[in-house]
Amino acid sequence: MDETTSERSSFEARFATLAALSYRVAYRLAGDRTEAEDLAQEALARAYASWRTVAAYDEAWVARVTTNLAISRWRRHRRVVASGDRDAAERAEAPHLPDPLDRVELVAALRSLPRRQREVVALRYLADLAEADVAAALGCAAGTVKQHAHRGLAALRRHLGRAGPDLAPSRAKEETDVRASR
Amino acid sequence: MFEHLDDPAPPQFGDRFRQVVVRRAHRRRRHRRLMAGAGVALASVVVGAGALYGRAAWRARDVARVEVAGTGEVAAGEPVTVLVLGTDGRLAAGRTADVLMLARLDPGAGALTVLSLPRDLMVDAPGGGGPVVVNRVGTGDLVGVIESQIGVPVDHVVQVDIDGFRSLIDRVGGVDIRVDAPLRDTASGLHVEAAGCVSLDGEDALALVRSRRLEVLDDSGTWVRDPLADLRRIENQRQVALAALDALAEGGTDPVTLNGHIDWALDHVTVDATLGTDDMVRLARAAAALDPSAVSEASLPVVPHPADPNRFALDTERAPEVLTAFTAGRALPAAPAIDAGSASRPLVDAATVAGC
């Protein structure tokens, strides 16, 4: 379980690429520098801790973990907002200030996708990986990736399009619903 | 396609960034090693627990046993009627009992029925002698007397000595009961200052179940002797026993607790020779799984004995209904032990029955 010298040098060699990739994915979802850096650090730390198994598909692995981390962190923030703690809510909202609604909707839309579709969309479009790399990382055929990407994008568009005209009210309603369901 | 969401000026991922990554990775590995260690520890605990359970079952074989005529084995899953006795010391063939309760446990229905017998009940002495108080009948003959003269078939006998009763209640952290009014008994040392839900430790519970001169604080603030005397006592005994059963069930049957209970049983419990270890485990499991609302309880209906007003005789009018219900496993009719008007209302209830 301990790191070896070759493991370390192999990770070092990939560090810059993976950090940039993870940061890009994280920023697209979180929209905040501090938050995106923190997500990227966490994803890279996890990659490094399991480097031996990750190395073969490092980019896809890091992109997937970053997406999942961002989504689960967003879920926690949303819970803080819903619980009515105003200070914490403001802190949670702050990261999304530049264009919060786009991102909130994007994360919500991603969350609504089936796992496989979400992974393909994240790797293909958030991490901008090539179809063949995604297929290799997920262990499926290129055709399957294409299909998932197509359906995932369509679902994403439907979700974003429908929520488009009145984003704010629909969000407010969602939060009320969350509160009511407690 | 999401370029519009990109950071226009992404940061450099320098040494500070890298240090955080490496530090977190190391923490993760350490954590994973710890978790692996915890997994091994957990596995040993599980194996150890299995061994403890095995040991518990093995040691339960050493519970003291006594030959009692009329007892016999009951098939698994069938209703079991147990004569529960409380005595001042260890049960022996000739010893007499202070507390007598019949408990019918129906594992299939998950139901428990408890019927208290007054110790001053007069019965015909076994072997054709004259009338005798039931608690003077030796244990070896007791089942025969109850079966033939009261008409309830008994399968097994379980006896607990009085020290055991006290230590059991302390073991389970006290019993929760509800009292109808402040109670005291200067002879037994009982003092419950306020009506309502109270928790009694072993000593207090013992003072309550031993109390034969119970006094109740009435509405005008004076202590009034409870007229029911021993009939009140057996009622209170039953409620405390039920409360103790609740506390026991709440304590669970993890191996450490179970072994503690077995230690206790080895010191304080005697069973009839036909009650096997498997039966004990089955009874304990069924008792632990009881729903308090599935417990039905009453005292045997009696009348003052014609020859001695301080003793009792079976109430031939009211008792048959109660005894038939008990034997059939139906809920017992709510009949007081003796028809004493408003004085018959219960003073003490097990907390779960009373809804504390």
Chain B residues closer than 8 Å to A20 by CB:
10, 13
Residue A48: the pLDDT is: 92
- Asked whether the beta carbons of residue A16 and residue B21 sit closer than 8 angstroms, the reply is no
Chain A contact present for B15, CB below 8 A: no
Q: Which residues 28-47 of B have a C-beta within 8 angstroms of A?
A: 28-29, 32-33
Could B2 and A37 be called an inter-chain contact, meaning their C-beta atoms sit closer than 8 Å? no
Q: Is the CB of B136 inside 8 Å of chain A's CB atoms?
A: no
Q: How far apart are the first and last CA of chain B?
A: 63
Distance of CA B45 to the CA centre of its chain: 29
Which of A151-155, A159-163, B23-27 is predicted least confidently? A159-163
Please report residues of A whose CB lies closer than 8 A to that of B9.
none
- Among the partner-chain residues A48, A103, A106, the one whose CB lies closest to the CB of B22 is A48
Question: For chain A, what is the mean pLDDT?
Answer: 76
Rounded to the nearest angstrom, the minimum Cα separation between B146 and chain A is 57
State the pLDDT at residue A3: 55
DSSP B170-222: HHTT-EEEEESS-EEETTTTEEE-SSEEEEE-HHHHHHHHH-SS-EEE-TTS-
Nearest chain B CA: its distance from A52 CA (Å): 13
Question: Which residue did the predictor score with more confidence, A141 or B345?
Answer: A141
The pLDDT tens digits for A46-103 are 999 889 888 888 999 999 999 989 888 876 665 544 444 444 444 444 443 345 556 7
Q: Greatest CA span in chain A, whole angstroms?
A: 55
The A-side interface with B (CB below 8 A) comprises 1-3, 15-16, 19-20, 23-24, 27-28, 31, 33, 36-37, 40-42, 44-46, 48-49, 99, 102-103, 106, 125-126
Rounded to an integer, what distance in angstroms lies between the CA atom of residue B206 and that of residue B184?
A: 13
The packing angle between helices B162-171 and B202-210, to 10°, is 140
Backbone angles phi, psi at B326, to 5 degrees: -60, -50
Q: What is the dihedral of CA B305, B311, B314, B318, to 10 degrees?
A: 80
- Looking at residue A43, what is its pLDDT? 95
> What is the rounded distance in angstroms from the CA atom of residue B105 to the CA atom of residue B68?
20
Q: Which residues of B touch A24 (CB under 8 A)?
A: 6-7, 10
- On chain A, the residues whose CB falls within 8 A of the CB of B20 are 41, 45
Q: Which residue numbers in chain B have pLDDT < 70?
A: 43-56, 89-96, 292, 340-344, 352-356
Q: Is the ipTM, as predicted for this complex, more than 0.85? A: no
> For position A174, what pLDDT does the model report?
39
What is the reported pLDDT for A89? 46
Q: What is the pLDDT of residue B149?
A: 92
Give the 3-state secondary structure of residue B324.
helix
State the distance between the two ends of chain A, measured CA to CA, in whole angstroms: 42
Kindly report, residue by residue over A4-53, the tens digit of the pLDDT: 678 788 899 999 999 999 999 999 888 889 999 999 999 999 999 889 88
pLDDT of residue B51: 66
Q: Is B89 on the interface with A (CB under 8 A)?
A: no
